[in-house]
Amino acid sequence: MWDTFRAVHPLYTLLYPDVSADMMQSLVIKYEQGGWLPIFPSWNSYTAAMIGDHCSVALADAYIKGIRGFDAEKAYEGMRKNAFEVPASQEDYKNGMGRRALQSYLKYGYIPLEDEVREAFHQKEQTSRTLEYAFDDYAVAQMAKALGKDDDYQILMARSENWRNVINPATGYCDGRHEDGRFEGNLDFVNRKSFITEGAVCHYTWFVPHNVEGLVEMMGGKEKFEAKLDSMFTEGRYWHGNEPCHQIAFLYDFIGKPEKTKKWVAYILDTEYNDTPGGLSGNDDSGQMSSWFIFSSMGFYPVCPSSNRYMLCEPRFQRITLNLQNGRKFVITPQSLPKDRNYITHNEITNK
């Protein structure tokens, strides 16, 4: 779920809603049988192999996009438990039940460097966990709102802003933070750090998919945001084989620079994919790399799963028709525009 929540499950909600519903009900059954929603389900068991709480994101994304056929109330019960509770049994916690380091996250609003997250395959990685939990809180909040649970919604939306607690205002990049509130003061943005998961600070700083506008503000405005974003591509920092980067090229859309989204998405499509046996630049991770390609080739991408918001790029085809399960067709027909403005401007859903 650590990667498939990004684009695989959103693609299922669009093309295969019945399959999506079955998958979501499987997660509900897992909760009913085991007492917790899984964090990183694998081999029909709980594991603490990866970070985040992204089964909750997949459930919220499906429900917000109209997928039914699964027990939404029971699903929310499990989502809420993951977001608010810690296993009473240490053995359950060791076996992967519940969010790692949730007590620290709730106490400080971030996971401090002093909490080394020992009971996890990926130990430490405190800043990445904080960023992902903030997004997870946003997703659970959307489910709470949809189900009329306003008190939970308010609490979780406030918690979804915890990403701010690990953005160092001195650098505009995410950073490790101590229990006393001091930032680590890291100035190496391109090499691996123990408080970042499978990547560098320059990769994870951009993981605020639910409040990109707020991230723009924290970085000092659109110009500084754009300069940092440019450096990801002009200085070779972008790493497409690492899925936490997958939304980055689309962030130009948030600052009124769709031509740059067009440019860099096209570059990624051209350079990171080919039809040889090694045609993917990283592990497909249960279809995430492929789903990114499909969405991007169609001209839109779900930067923020659990919302109905898609960011736009240039479609790769003159006409794209998706035959939806309800019998309707989703037709994408990009207009002929000047080369510097050749990006999608209109989507049409038709019964034809």
DSSP state string for 258-324: HHHHHHHHHHHHHHSB-SSTT-BSS--GGGHHHHHHHHHHHTEE-SSBTBS--EE---SSS-EEEE-
What average pLDDT score do residues 151-157 get? 99
**CB 120 within 8 Å of CB 99:** no
Cα separation values, 309 from 10, 97, 101, 206, 332, Å? 11, 31, 30, 17, 16
Copy the structure tokens of residue 53: 């709480």
Lay out the sheet containing 329-332: strands in order across: 320-323, 329-332, 347-350
| Helix orientation angle between 55-64 and 17-34, rounded to the nearest 10 degrees | 140
| Residue 201 DSSP code | H
Q: What percent of the chain has pLDDT over 90?
A: 85
Q: Do 3 and 285 contact (CB within 8 A), yes or no?
A: yes
Q: What is the pLDDT of residues 73-123, one digit of tens each?
A: 999 999 999 999 999 999 999 888 999 999 999 999 999 999 999 988 889
Q: Return the CATH number of the domain spanning residue range 8-272.
A: 1.20.1610.10
Q: What is the pLDDT, as a whole number, of residue 76?
A: 99
Contact 174, 204 (CB under 8 A): yes
